[in-house]
Amino acid sequence: MRRRPAAPLVALLAVLAIVLTACGGSGDSGASGETVTVSGKYGQVQVPADAERVLPLSPQDADMVISLGVVPIALPVYPEVMVSTDGVGAWPWQVDALAEMGYTVVPPARDGNVDALLEAGDHEVPAMLFSGDPQSYLEAIAALQPDVIVATGQWALNQDAYDKLSAVAPVVHFDTQANVEPWQDNTRKIGTALGREEEADEAVASAEAQVAGIRDAHPEFQGVRYNAVIGDLGGELYILSGEDRGIGMFMHELGFTLSDYARTVPTDADGRGHISYEFVSELDTDVAVVISPAGDIEYMNGNAQWRDLSVVQRGSVVSIARNSGVPNALGFPSPLSLPWGGQRIADGLSTAVSRVQ
C-alpha cells in the first residue's frame, strides 16, 4: 500500500463549467444508440453501447481498460509516477501491454498543454499529467472528447466531481469507495460498460491463475506470519493492518497471515494502521516487508527496537522500493499489475521465509 496519490480533481472543479463552455463540452460524446447500465455510488451510469473513446482517471483504471483489449485515449499520470518511471509516465506493465497491442506511450508535455495530447499519432497513447494549471487539466479532459470516463480508482471523485464530469461523458465509478472494492468486481464492471464482459472474465481468470501459480510454486508461504511497514510518512509510522485490499489481499492469496498485533491496530481508509515508534518492538514476526521510497530502510534500521527484533536479526526482511513500481502494482491491483508485481516479490519472500527458525 501507499498513500493516496495527489489528485487535484476536487480543487479543479471550480473552473470546469467555464472550461466546458470554452471547449464546447455538453455531455454528448457523439456516441449514439443503445446504452449499457452499470451501478455506481452516485447513481446508475448509462454508457453508450457504441462508446469507443475511453478515458481512465487513475492508473489502476487504465490497467483494467487495457486488460480488456481497449486502448485508452490517454493515460492518467501523477507526478510520483513520472519520477518512478524516469519520465515515461506509464508503469512497465502498461507499456508492455500496450506494446503487445501495437501502441507506444507518449510522455507528458512539459507544459501539459492540450495540443500535445491531441497531436498523438494513430499508434500512440499520450500520458496526461494530473498536475499544473487547473484550466489546462480540465481543458484536456473536455478536449479529448471521451465517450466514457472510467473512475473506479479515482480517490478524489465525490458527488460534486461526478456531477461535473458527467457533463463531459458518463462516469463509470465505484459503488462504495475507490480501491476498496475487489479489483475483480471493478474489472467486470468496466467490461460490462464497454461491452467486453467476456474479455473481463478472461482477464480476471488469467491474473488469478498467475497469482495461484506463484502460491503453488511456494508452498513454504502457507501460514507464515508477517508484518508490512508502509513507511515513515511525514514522521509517522504506518503498518498494514488489514488483509481486505491491496498488498494485504495479495499476501493473503499467497498463503501468508497478517500478525495478531497488526490486526489490533485501528485501520484507516487506506488499510493502514498508525503506530507510535515506541511500539516497534511489537512488530516481531516471521517475515517483515518494508516499503520505502527507494529501498533504503535506514529510517527503520536506525531504531534500536527494530534492530533487536528476531525477524531483523535473522534477515527475514523484504525491502520494496516505491520507485520500483512493485508497491503500486500490488497496492492498486489489476489484471495487469498483480502478475507483474507478484513475480518480482516472490523470490525475496521465499528467501526471507527460508531464514525463519
Q: Specify whether 237 is located in the same domain as 186.
A: no
Task: Return the CATH number at 274.
Answer: 3.40.50.1980
Q: Specify whether 235 is located in the same domain as 178.
A: no
| Chosen domain end from 142, 161, 195 | 195
Q: Is residue 272 part of a domain?
A: yes
Q: Specify whether 317 is located in the same domain as 266.
A: yes
pTM (global) more than 0.75: yes
Q: What pLDDT band is residue 39 in, cutting at 50, 70 and 90?
A: very high
Q: Specify whether 39 is located in the same domain as 152.
A: yes
Q: Specify whether 99 is located in the same domain as 24.
A: yes
* pLDDT number for residue 160: 85
| Chosen domain end from 195, 230, 245 | 195
Q: Specify whether 14 is located in the same domain as 126.
A: yes
Mean pLDDT computed over every residue of the chain: 86
Q: Is residue 295 part of a domain?
A: yes
Q: Which residue has the higher pLDDT, 227 or 4?
A: 227
* pLDDT number for residue 18: 39
- The yes-or-no verdict on residue 13 having pLDDT over 60 is no
Q: Specify whether 274 is located in the same domain as 319.
A: yes
Q: Specify whether 112 is located in the same domain as 235.
A: no
Domain extent for 321: 218-354
* pLDDT number for residue 293: 75
- The yes-or-no verdict on residue 11 having pLDDT over 70 is no
CB 77, CB 55: distance < 8 Å: no
Q: Specify whether 181 is located in the same domain as 236.
A: no
Q: Is residue 298 part of a domain?
A: yes
Q: What pLDDT band is residue 132 in, cutting at 50, 70 and 90?
A: low
Q: Is residue 169 part of a domain?
A: yes
Q: What pLDDT band is residue 10 in, cutting at 50, 70 and 90?
A: very low
* pLDDT number for residue 2: 32
Q: Specify whether 67 is located in the same domain as 179.
A: yes
- Overall average pLDDT of the 21-48 stretch: 72
Q: Is residue 89 part of a domain?
A: yes
Q: How many domains does the chain have?
A: 2
- The yes-or-no verdict on residue 149 having pLDDT over 90 is yes
Q: Specify whether 170 is located in the same domain as 223.
A: no
